[in-house]
Amino acid sequence: MPAKNLKNEKLSSSALRRQREREHRYQTILAAAEKLFATEGYHKSSMEQIADASEVSVGMVYFYFKNKEDLIIQLMDEMGYALRSTLGTAFKKYGANMEGFKQAGYAFFEDFCVNYPEKCAIIFRESVGKSPGMEQHRKALFEKCTGDVRKALTAVCENQGVTFKGKYSAEVIAVSIMGIYERVAYQYLFWQDASHDIKLIGRDAVDFIIGGVNNLFNDSSCT
């Protein structure tokens, strides 16, 4: 009986090791694809280049991912989680109030945009207009982020005892915020290459948003 338990324990250890190896290869391929998509562009990057950068065979890349589109979609899933986590953490740190809401906005520009430029390149540039499947996936990501913003606004209202002027105010604000974040990031990270000033630019964008939010509260004392 003890010998049987020992054998099962060895099998379990071996299985765990293989699982760690698979996860490591998966993440290595994702990291290589992220860098290539961000620097060379999605269309110019091939599965062969991704395999070479990952130091694995092309067959191994296809073992984990059906094709290049599957790769970028899975990247977008991980990036979406990172983006939502960054904003959510900042908001919760300061509490369900306008200060927390403002700090979440600052975190987008000063944390996410500064520390993850390659993720920004894929979310805001390389995933746009490439295929119906990618566009649908991108839409789902922004809908989740918009929902997060709307929930945060609802929490602020409940916590500070204020209400919005219209029944669509929270939704309109959430949609507008995501649109502004996307447009400002694209404009100054890629079109103008003003990434060195993105923190200052982000502060202006967030302060502009906060002014608009306050204007739609029935109680304008909410700051």
pLDDT in tens, 35-77: 999 999 999 999 999 999 999 999 999 999 999 999 999 999 9
Question: Alpha-carbon distance 198 to 204, whole Å?
Answer: 10
Question: Alpha-carbon distance 141 to 31, whole Å?
Answer: 20
Q: What is the mean pLDDT of the chain?
A: 90
Copy the structure tokens of residue 61.
């890349």
What pLDDT score does 4 carry?
A: 44
What pLDDT score does 95 carry?
A: 83
What pLDDT score does 130 carry?
A: 85
Quick one: three-class SS letters along 106-137? HHHHHHHHHHCHHHHHHHHHHCCCCCHHHHHH
The highest-level CATH class for domain 1-65 is: mainly alpha
pLDDT in tens, 119-168: 999 999 999 888 898 999 999 999 999 999 999 999 999 998 899 999 99
Kindly state the average pLDDT of the residues 3-14.
56
pLDDT > 70 in the chain, percent: 93
Which of the two residues, 6 and 210, has the higher pLDDT score? 210
43 phi and psi, to 5 degrees? -65, -35
Specify the DSSP element, H or E, that contains 222. Answer: none
3-state helix, strand, coil in the chain (%, to 5): 80, 0, 20
> Distance of CA 9 to CAs 1, 18, 112, Å?
12, 14, 42
Which of the two residues, 5 and 39, has the higher pLDDT score? 39
Q: Which fold has domain 67-223?
A: Tetracycline Repressor; domain 2 (1.10.357)
> Distance of CA 85 to CAs 115, 117, 205, Å?
14, 16, 20
Beta bridge partners, 164, equal 217
Question: Alpha-carbon distance 123 to 90, whole Å?
Answer: 21
What pLDDT score does 219 carry?
A: 55
> Distance of CA 215 to CAs 95, 169, 223, Å?
21, 10, 10
Domain boundaries along the sequence of the chain: 1-65, 67-223
Kindly state the average pLDDT of the residues 174-201.
94
What pLDDT score does 193 carry?
A: 86
Q: Which of 77, 213, 207 is nearest to 152 (CA)?
A: 213
Question: Alpha-carbon distance 197 to 179, whole Å?
Answer: 20
Residues with Cβ within 8 Å of residue 133, at least 6 apart in sequence: 69, 73
44 phi and psi, to 5 degrees? -85, -10
What pLDDT score does 218 carry?
A: 85
What pLDDT score does 11 carry?
A: 59
DSSP classification of residue 195: G
Query: DSSP letter string over 152-175?
Result: HHHHHHHHHT--BSSTTHHHHHHH
Q: How confident is the model at residue 3 (pLDDT cuts 50, 70, 90)?
A: very low
What pLDDT score does 35 carry?
A: 96
